Structure 1
Amino acid sequence: MARKLTVAAAQVGAINRDTPKQEVVQRLIDLLQQASFKNVKLVVFPEATLTTFFPRHLFDTQEELDTFFEHGADITQSTDVKPLFDEARKLAIDIVLGYGERTPEGTGYNTSVHYSASQDKIISKYRKVHLPGTVEPFEDPNAINQLEKRYFTPGNLGFQAYRAPGLVSNAVKSASAKNGESTVGKGDPVLGMMICNDRRWPEAWRVYALQGVELVMFGYNTGANMAHLWGSQDKPMSPEQAEQEALFHSKLVQQANSYMNACFSISSARCGLDDGKYDLIAGSAIVSPEGHVLNEAKTKGDELVVAEIDLSDCRQGKERTFDFARHRRIETYGLIPQQTGIVEPDLL
């Protein structure tokens, strides 16, 4: 049974430290309107979409830092961001949006939400689990910092798959399911969210896959030349080589994990040259359950990357190649939940 859906990654180009959120939101609305002309029903925006990637900066005051977060329990009511959700409702397009979340208790999270246009509400929230970088800035004044561990707390919502209504026609509902009939692969889409560095961790994808995920969505802000974090001190790369390596790894993990977990995936980049010196890779892409790139960004700026997908294409991998119920051997995977760091065998 075909379950077709037109989706898009809404890549967002350079945003400077002093760029007003209202200006960014208008750019996002422009992308959403482009999506409407292409009959897109689901748009994925990047990680921390609304501002420059602020964890690269060390802030002098809490007041300035707080301007980069959204405050309160419901972002759809944020003065700055509400126009985006209003436009999504008007155009009948679901959106996935990443932003810095400050809870009423004062905790900071790197967060993503799925807003359902048909329901006019947030139907799922995800908080980034795998925070990269450092708490303290590097001693080298020329280093580009990544201070997510300073400004965010690791996510506490886990990798919870969910269904999104109103995206595919003729989805089987619990009330209409016939007794004894298998509803696997026939209901509303099973979705999952990640953010940036999470995409590099196979455990995250597998937890979603064990819930039958059909589409994984994530945004990212990935440095084009983060030598102090990722580079080899023994084999330094030119900025051009570093950017190509970052792009290669970004595409590698998306294609490989889409294939190994038999799901579509959408990645959306916050990219470009912020403040004329902080370079972020592009490379937004939509990938099939067989690991093929269906469409990808051609620029390093604001760009809508569109593809029609058929969620029934997930069934081959889920029911044949990787049929988890028949082939997984969980009695052999004990180290995964028991151990974090590497413990080598004893020396000979």
Structure 2
Amino acid sequence: MTAVRMAAVSAPFDRDLEQDFARIAALIDRARADGVQLLALPEACLGGYLANLDGDADGPPPLEADGPEIKRLAALAGDLVVTAGFCERADGALYNSAVCVTGDGVLGLHRKVHQPLSEDATYRAGERFTAFDTPVGRLGMMICYDKAFPESARELALDGAEVVVCMSAWPGSRTGATAELARDRWKRRFDLFDRARALENQIVWLSANQSGEFGDLRFVASAKIVDPGGDVVACTGVAEGLAVADIDVTEALTTARRSMGHLRDRRPATYTAIGSGIDAALDTASDVGELARSATE
């Protein structure tokens, strides 16, 4: 069994693509010098995220998955497996996307499925979660708000993902904000989701996030690596940096799943609300109580 050295990045990115590429190149050089094999960059690291969450008319530069910028990223990656977020232009629409590359090219692509607040004014939603094979194991990707939904990570785990990389531009709270970012309530949620998704699926979890400020947003950083037991094994805190850890993925998953296998012990036939009419009704009900009342009338 062989350990994989992996790293999750917390760093700032903006609209200046050349500056973004310079920062990415430096991060890749640093990771390579440290023996890292899997490097997770944040959401929207190519061109920056939206300047605010109420709609951004001057959004990130649209790039194509087979365009020169992604090819440039792959060339920088070389022998590393690198994941990165960008604004994708495809089929006449824009997507908040993530790509996984090596020097050989694109290994995987994910389009953000769940859209918070007014993000849908800029992006079309993705439609699926799919795992894929890489030189460091079978990976799954998701973006930011995707991790608030247990079904996202569970779909990837059931598709065989051993490692899930979640790339974010997760900001601090806009209401009741605290000067001490480490105590921010949105940071607390960010951290809870990371640990819960790893534990409930017994997978290795990499969480990369933007840091610093951009537009109206102040990002919580907090890049981390979480093991299949839900324990944080490396974290940047609220500062810019790399969270680095060596994990024997096969051994870690085998050990975590030996006694209690959360995927193995599921009882899908009992989860009758998932994918049923109740899910659709929840979309239109003002709250769960309203739905419950209507069901008894």
TM-score range with shorter-chain normalisation?
A: 0.7 to 0.9
SS at match of 1:36: helix
Contact 1:219 1:267 in 2 (8 A): yes
Look up the match of 1:69.
62
Contact 2:233 2:245 in 1 (8 A): yes
Closer/same/farther in 2, CA of residues 73 and 294 from structure 1, 3 Å limit: closer
AA matched with 1:132: P
Within the alignment, does 1:204 sit opposite 2:175 as a pair? no
Contact 1:261 1:318 in 2 (8 A): no
SS at match of 1:40: coil
Normalising by structure 2, what TM-score? 0.88
Higher RCO (CA 8 Å, separation ≥ 6 residues): 1
Work out the CA distance in 1 between the residues paired with 2:189 and 2:267: 28
1:12-61: CA deviation from partner (whole Å, max 9, x where unpaired):
12x45xx421011101110110001110011011011122322627555x
Look up the match of 2:220.
281
Closer/same/farther in 2, CA of residues 31 and 288 from structure 1, 3 Å limit: same
How many residue pairs get matched?
284
Deviation at 1:86, TM superposition (A): 1.7
1:154-176: CA deviation from partner (whole Å, max 9, x where unpaired):
103x11111113x3xxxxxxxxx
Alignment of 1:104-253 (within 5 A): 105-117=91-103, 120-134=104-118, 148-156=119-127, 158-165=128-135, 167=136, 189-227=137-175, 236=176, 238=178, 240=180, 244-253=184-193
Deviation at 1:309, TM superposition (A): 0.8
AA matched with 2:252: D
Quote the sequence identity (%): 25
Look up the match of 1:268.
208
Deviation at 1:305, TM superposition (A): 1.6
Work out the CA distance in 2 between the residues paired with 1:250 and 1:267: 9
Work out the CA distance in 1 between the residues paired with 2:124 and 2:96: 8
Deviation at 1:299, TM superposition (A): 5.0
Work out the CA distance in 1 between the residues paired with 2:11 and 2:77: 17
Closer/same/farther in 2, CA of residues 274 and 191 from structure 1, 3 Å limit: same
Work out the CA distance in 2 between the residues paired with 1:82 and 1:319: 41
Deviation at 1:320, TM superposition (A): 2.5
Closer/same/farther in 2, CA of residues 305 and 337 from structure 1, 3 Å limit: same
Work out the CA distance in 2 between the residues paired with 1:331 and 1:85: 43
- Which of 29, 37, 40 is matched with 2:33 structurally? 37
AA matched with 2:165: M
Point out where structure 1 has 5 or more consecutive residues left out of the alignment.
135-147, 168-188, 228-235
Contact 2:51 2:214 in 1 (8 A): no
Normalising by structure 1, what TM-score? 0.75
Alignment of 1:82-93 (within 5 A): 82-89=71-78, 92-93=79-80
Closer/same/farther in 2, CA of residues 336 and 273 from structure 1, 3 Å limit: same
Within the alignment, does 1:96 sit opposite 2:74 as a pair? no
Work out the CA distance in 2 between the residues paired with 1:59 and 1:112: 20
Contact 1:69 1:100 in 2 (8 A): yes
Structure having the higher Rg:
1
Look up the match of 1:12.
11
1:278-326: CA deviation from partner (whole Å, max 9, x where unpaired):
311110000000111110004523x22211011121113334212534x
Closer/same/farther in 2, CA of residues 39 and 154 from structure 1, 3 Å limit: same
Contact 2:74 2:106 in 1 (8 A): no
Point out where structure 2 has 5 or more consecutive residues left out of the alignment.
283-287
Contact 1:98 1:219 in 2 (8 A): yes
Deviation at 1:208, TM superposition (A): 1.5
SS at match of 1:85: helix
Q: Please tell me the root mean square deviation across aligned C-alpha atoms, in Å.
A: 2.3
- Which of 32, 44, 53 is matched with 1:48 structurally? 44
